[in-house]
Structure 1
Amino acid sequence: MAETTTRGLGLRSVATPTVVAEFLGTLLLVFFAVGSAVLGAEYVGTVGIALTFGFVLLALAYTFGPVSGCHLNPAVTLGMLLAKRITPRTALEYVVAQLIGAVVGAALLFLLAEQVPGLETTGGFGSNGYGYRSAVGVNIFGAFLAEIVLTFLLVYVYLAVTRDLVVIGLAGLPIGLSLAVVNLVGIPLTGTSVNPARSLAPALFAGADAMAQIWLFLIAPLVGGALAALVYGLTHPAGPLGVTRAATTDVSE
């Protein structure tokens, strides 16, 4: 009877928690991790910001990993799609949820930042950049290359430690550590994107200069994610140990 009811309802009831998890997780990632750069940069410094990104993702991986895989990042979702862990329909739903969650998280952060006397929210606001918007002045080619390589590491780790859609056991630890590492390297260069949703949302509130450069931080992480899936297929030819039904079955069925 339970099986019949599930079939009658379709997989929408199964997919909905995964989409909500991606929305809420990305919201929290942007609010807290980007918030460390917006609200606490002078207190915690580059290392503190990098660790905040890593620790937040680590916590969220254990919270939402068993539900959705805790992608919270279109580049990770693209890598999972190319590795055949999820269907195109599920990938699209994830990306939409991630983008909306990131914007809501950035909006909440902007609202909070506006309550801090003297805090400037125009121009930076945790956005990414190259050239004059880079701490070390990295040029456009250097920024593109850096974002590809940094995203490659993050997505490759996701693919290697999850082995299927969900994050279980100790898999959350290397995922969180990898984000901390890429931020330690990338913050001086570009402010570290490795996540189109994380980049787009703050840029919407940072102003025209941030939006003029946003294209790089949308494209380069996706290229890095795609390369990670390609290389993963070469280094792990046996593929995932198993894939959940929610990941491989289109929710429209």
Structure 2
Amino acid sequence: MASLSRRLSAEVFGTFWLVLGGCGSAVLAAGIPDVGIAFAGVSLAFGLTVLTAAYAVGHISGGHFNPAVTFGLWASGRFPARDVVPYVAAQVAGAIVAAVVILQIASGKAGFALAPNGLAVNGFESLSPGGYTMAAGLIAEVVLTFGFLIIILGSTDRRAPAGFAPIAIGLALTLIHLISIPVTNTSVNPARSTGPALLVGGLALQQLWLFWIAPIAGAIIAGLAWRGLADDTSQ
């Protein structure tokens, strides 16, 4: 196993890449009239970031890139409690750096303003792309993070086909975004939510609590459920 410092560096990079690719595509490419990539393109971008980062540095750190994944793996018994806080701190740091980079690039276009949705922030009610309620956002984030963790735990099971886990995980994240971008702009990742919200501030920062509580709750439930679903030889 790599040293903790190397693993944390991999988590910083992986989370940076995820936020840069996913949120960057939403900010820079989704809104261009006639040629923008729209929701489907942003969904694919998020899936591709996880897939590529997992193949690049997943063998170093485990490829979490997401505090909810870290908590879910801990709950399933696959990750030590002593490393949870350092991993989460590294992931948040990577997300913040990515948000700063996106802002610097986006600011290079005349007329850009750091509006509530200027950095693809997550939110509900007035910050929801489709105007969904807080309750709808809470349910979506818990349920979809639960499903995401089950796919992660299953595809990385020792009995699963070797080498294909990043593909399954990347496609799962794409599907999750196709479902929930209209609801919350899709988080399922507290670090991804934190980077943009810290820069945008205001209502985005006030609503950030939901995008920590809901994904982590869904992930922990999935981790505990996996303990009952899988036998001891699969861990």
Q: Under TM normalisation by the shorter chain, which class is it? A: over 0.9
Give the aligned partner of residue 104 of structure 1: 97
Counterpart CA distance in 1 for 2:233 and 2:74 is 13
Q: What do the CA deviations read for 1:200-230 (whole angstroms, capped 9, x no partner)?
A: 1101112201111111111100011011112
Question: Counterpart of 1:41 in 2: which secondary structure?
Answer: coil
User: CA, structure 1 residues 14+168, in 2 after alignment: closer, same or farther (shift >3 Å)?
Assistant: farther
CA shift digits 1:34-58 (9 cap, x unpaired): 1011111121000000000001111
Cα shift at 1:239: 5.2
* Deviation for aligned residue 1:168: 5.7
CA contact (8 A) 1:135 1:190 kept: yes
Q: Would you say the 8 A contact 1:130–1:143 is kept in 2? A: yes
2:134 to 134, 137, 140: 140
In structure 2, the CA distance between the partners of 1:168 and 1:31, relative to structure 1 (3 Å rule), is farther
**Structure-2 separation of matches of 1:200 and 1:105:** 11
**Counterpart in the other structure of 2:224:** 230
The question of whether the paired residues in 2 share the 8 Å contact of 1:62 and 1:168 is answered with: no
**Counterpart in 2 of 1:170?**
164
Name the SS for the 1:135 alignment partner.
coil
Provide, for residues 16-70 of structure 1, a one-character-per-residue CA deviation record: whole Å limited to 9, x for no partner: 2111100111111111111011111121000000000001111111111111111
Match among 114, 117, 122 for residue 110 of structure 2 = 117
Residue equivalent to 2:190? 196
Q: 2:210 is matched with which residue?
A: 216
Identical counterparts, % of pairs: 38
Q: 1:121 to 1:239 in 2, by over 3 A?
A: farther
Q: Give the TM-score, by structure 2 length.
A: 0.92
TM-score by length of 1: 0.86
Cα distance change, pair 239–73 in 1 and its aligned pair in 2 (3 A): farther
Following TM superposition, where does structure 1 have runs of at least 4 consecutive aligned residues deviating by more than 6 angstroms? none
- Matching of residues 1-253 of structure 1 within 5 Å: 14-42=3-31, 43-124=36-117, 125-163=119-157, 169-238=163-232, 240-241=234-235
Distance 1:192 1:94 in 2: 21
Equivalent position amino acid for 1:182 in 2: I
SS, match of residue 231 in structure 2: coil
SS of equivalent to 1:185: helix
What CA RMSD, in Å, does the superposition of the two structures yield over aligned residues?
A: 1.6
Q: Which 10-residue stretch deviates more, 59-68 or 191-200?
A: 59-68
Give the gaps of 5 or more residues in structure 1: 1-10, 242-253
Distance 1:151 1:239 in 2: 25
| Equivalent residues of 1:127, 1:210 under 8 A apart | yes
| Residue pair 1:122, 1:207 contacting (<8 A) in 2 also | no
Whole-angstrom CA distance in 2 between matches of 1:128 and 1:80 = 24
Q: Are the counterparts in 2 of residues 130 and 189 from structure 1 also a CA contact under 8 Å?
A: yes
Contact 1:64 1:70 in 2 (8 A): yes
Q: Could you tell me how far apart the structure 1 residues matched to 2:83 and 2:129 are?
A: 37
Cα shift at 1:87? 1.1
Amino acid of the structure 2 residue aligned with 1:156: I
Q: Which amino acid is the alignment partner of residue 84 of structure 1?
A: G
CA contact (8 A) 1:66 1:168 kept: no
Displacement of 1:108 after TM fit? 1.1
| Deviation at residue 174 of structure 1 after TM alignment | 0.4
> Secondary structure in 2 aligned to 1:214?
coil
Q: Which structure has the larger Rg over C-alpha atoms?
A: 1
Taking the aligned partners of 2:157 and 2:112, their CA distance within structure 1 comes to: 43
Q: What are structure 2's unaligned runs of at least 5 residues?
A: none
